[in-house]
Structure formats: structure tokens, C-alpha cells
Amino acid sequence: MEIEECFGKIVNISQKKGIQKALSLIGLNNKKIESFVKKGNFIVELKNFDVVIDVKEKLNQINLYLCDKKWSKELLKSLRNSFSFKSMVVFLGKITISKKVYELRIGAFGISSSELVKAILKFK
């Protein structure tokens, strides 16, 4: 599955069936995200692309960025000290991690906003 397709499907599934069902598309759930964060592993390697986990404690946000494998480490470095988004992100809902409620968002690094919007419409 390509990044655009995965992005579109996650956004649509989260709205129709909930966040947990949407996250299962990329093999994640609350416990797995919490485990990755606690271990300091913010890159989840999938078959065709990576998911970079960006935790913004002060803002109570977790941003998941779908990203080509060759850019994931660069993206993670740029996210460390930045409060800006690195792509268009879509709010999926709220999740609880370590007894704290976070807003969960998803984005796709390296893909234009117009392509992401098309993917949301295409993969309903």
C-alpha cells in the first residue's frame, strides 16, 4: 500500500469506525504507541514506508507522519525542536497514553496537501 492510500484510508476509517480500527491498518494501537514512546523509538518501520511518531507533551498532541523510508530519520531530527507541522495533518480524535489524553493527528511527509485531500476522497 502506498502512503497516499494508507493516509486516505486511515482518515476515513477513523471517522467511520474509530481510531483503533484506523490505527490497526498500520499495525498500531494505544499500547504499541505508548511502548514505542517509552523506549524512545519514534520510528515504526512498515513494509513500504515508515511512521514517525512526534509527541508534543506541552500541547498534548501526538502526530503520526507517514514517510518514505529514506526521509524518516531526517524528519525525526527536524521534529525534535519544532512546534510546527511538517505536512498537512488531520485530527483523528483523542487517545489515552500513560493515563494522559492526547489529540492524535496524522500527516504524510513529502506529499502535497492536494494529493492528500485527493486520497481522502478517493479511499472512502
Domain coordinates of the chain in residue numbers?
3-122
What is the C-alpha to C-alpha distance for residues 60 and 67, in angstroms, rounded to an integer?
Answer: 22
Provide mean pLDDT across the span 50-77.
91
What is the C-alpha to C-alpha distance for residues 52 and 73, in angstroms, rounded to an integer?
Answer: 8
Write down the pTM of the prediction.
0.90
Question: 38 by DSSP, 3-state: which?
Answer: helix
- Contact criterion met (CB below 8 Å) for 119 and 79: no
Lowest model confidence (mean pLDDT) among 35-44, 73-82, 101-110: 73-82
Provide mean pLDDT across the span 93-111.
93
The share of the chain scoring above pLDDT 90, in percent, equals 73
More confident residue, 76 or 95: 95
* Angle between the N-to-C axes of helices 3-17 and 113-122, in degrees from 0 to 180, rounded to the nearest 10: 50
Per-residue pLDDT at 86? 67
Per-residue pLDDT at 73? 87
- 94 strand-pairing partners: 103
Q: At residue 103, what are phi and psi to the nearest 5 degrees?
A: -85, 130
Which of 67, 56, 68 is closest to 100 using CA atoms? 56
